[in-house]
């Protein structure tokens, strides 16, 4: 009887609890972020087309383009950030999901990845608000005119030179190293609850601004709604953070931007 019971128990043992995230988790994270990025590109393209039409009508009428209020500007800015940044954020979000899985196994409360992303976007929103306020202080950095770009070649060229030189700076290199290898930081800094995930997203966003903020300034010179430049910069962001030897691509891009800025000056 006991042998039979033992045999039955052996046949019907419960499967062991998973000790590692599912192999499908990175695929799900990447797919979700790429879908959101595609939606961001669609929204940005629609906004750029609308802005182009309004600029053309203003020019035909011989009047100055209408000012862009801060709320619509920030909504357009967030759509741009989602479009340009989310693909290169996939490894970091995957690492956050992995750390969250491990912490939940240990009995901690870890918020979902979207809370982490909200903190990340909050930092980039503040960066965008700073660009908007700069346009109010320095009229030549125009968030009000067609294309939302600097109207003075001197201002535009200076922005490009500064942005390109920054690509070679020590601070840029330090922030890029964080963005390329975020797992140790996430394991050390991860805290329980939604507030902890949001703060962690803010901390990661600050590092990302330090990494990519210089190149984002390029859009002030060439136009915030310049889809070609947006795609080029998004490609550099992805290469820097994800591709082997990506930092070299960032330095080459920086040199090219400096040359462009000098030519504009």
In terms of residue numbers, what domain contains 171?
Answer: 25-264
Entry pTM? 0.83
**Tens digits of residue pLDDT in 36-73:** 999 999 999 998 887 765 554 444 444 434 445 677 78
Cα distance between residue 135 and residue 126, in whole Å: 14
Residue 15 has pLDDT above 70, yes or no: no
What pLDDT was estimated at residue 48? Answer: 83
Supply the mean pLDDT for the chain. 83
Q: Which of 42-51, 116-125, 203-212, 256-265 has the lowest mean pLDDT?
A: 42-51
Cα distance between residue 82 and residue 70, in whole Å: 18
The single residue listed with the structure tokens 């891009």 is 253
Q: Which of 27-31, 147-151, 217-221, 238-242 has the lowest mean pLDDT?
A: 147-151
Residue 18 lies in a domain: no
Residue 20 lies in a domain: no
Which residues lie across from 119 on neighbouring strands? none
Who wins on pLDDT, 101 or 173?
173
What's the average model confidence in pLDDT over 149-168?
A: 91
What is the b/e burial string over 133-170, where b = at least 16 CB atoms within 10 angstroms of the residue's CB?
eebeeeeebbbbbbbbbbeeeebbbbbbbbbbbbbeee
What's the average model confidence in pLDDT over 147-174?
A: 90
What's the average model confidence in pLDDT over 160-181?
A: 95
Residue 187 has pLDDT above 90, yes or no: no
CB neighbour list of residue 191: distance below 8 Å, 6 or more residues apart: 197, 199, 200
Q: Which of 4-13, 21-30, 148-157 has the lowest mean pLDDT?
A: 4-13
Q: Which of 33-42, 53-62, 74-83, 93-102 has the lowest mean pLDDT?
A: 53-62
Q: What confidence category does residue 180 fall into, taking pLDDT thresholds of 50, 70 and 90?
A: very high
**How many Cβ atoms from other residues are within 10 Å of residue 172's Cβ?**
23
**Tens digits of residue pLDDT in 238-252:** 999 999 999 999 999
> Domain tally for the chain?
1
Most confident of 2-6, 38-42, 144-148: 38-42
Residue 147 has pLDDT above 50, yes or no: yes
Residue 129 lies in a domain: yes
**Pair 216, 166: CB distance under 8 Å:** no
What pLDDT was estimated at residue 20? Answer: 58
Long-range contacts of 53-58 (CB under 8 A, 24+ apart): 55/145, 55/146, 55/147, 58/146
**Pair 250, 212: CB distance under 8 Å:** no
**Pair 172, 93: CB distance under 8 Å:** no
Q: Backbone phi, then psi, for 150, in 5-degree steps? A: -65, 130
Residue 6 lies in a domain: no
**Pair 201, 122: CB distance under 8 Å:** yes
**Tens digits of residue pLDDT in 218-236:** 998 888 889 999 999 999 9
**Pair 110, 194: CB distance under 8 Å:** no
Residue 54 lies in a domain: yes
State percent of the chain over pLDDT 90: 52
Residue 60 lies in a domain: yes
Cα distance between residue 208 and residue 179, in whole Å: 7
Residue 117 lies in a domain: yes
């Amino acid at each position: 009887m006991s042998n039979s019971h033992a045999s039955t128990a052996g046949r019907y043992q419960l499967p062991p609890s998973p000790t590692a995230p599912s192999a499908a988790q990175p695929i799900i994270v990447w797919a979700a972020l790429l879908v959101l990025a595609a939606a961001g590109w669609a929204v940005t393209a629609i906004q750029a087309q609308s802005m182009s039409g309004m600029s053309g009508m203003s020019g035909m009428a011989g009047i100055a383009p209408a000012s862009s209020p801060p709320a619509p500007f920030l909504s357009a800015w967030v759509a741009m950030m989602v479009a340009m940044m989310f693909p290169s954020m996939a490894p970091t979000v995957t690492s956050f999901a992995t750390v969250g899985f491990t912490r939940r196994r240990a009995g901690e409360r870890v918020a979902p990845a979207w809370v982490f992303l909200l903190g990340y976007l909050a930092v980039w929103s503040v960066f965008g608000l700073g660009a908007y306020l700069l346009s109010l202080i320095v009229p030549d950095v125009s968030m009000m005119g067609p294309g939302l770009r600097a109207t003075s070649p001197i201002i535009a060229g200076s922005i490009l030179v500064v942005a390109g030189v920054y690509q070679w700076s020590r601070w840029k290199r330090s922030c890029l190293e964080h963005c390329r290898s975020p797992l140790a930081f996430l394991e050390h800094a991860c805290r329980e609850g939604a507030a902890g995930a949001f703060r962690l997203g803010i901390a990661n966003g600050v590092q990302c601004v330090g990494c990519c903020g210089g190149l984002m300034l390029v859009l002030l010179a060439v136009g915030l709604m310049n889809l070609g430049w947006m795609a080029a910069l998004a490609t550099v962001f992805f290469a820097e953070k994800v591709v082997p030897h990506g930092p070299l691509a960032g330095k080459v891009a920086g040199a090219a931007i400096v040359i462009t800025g000098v030519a504009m000056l």
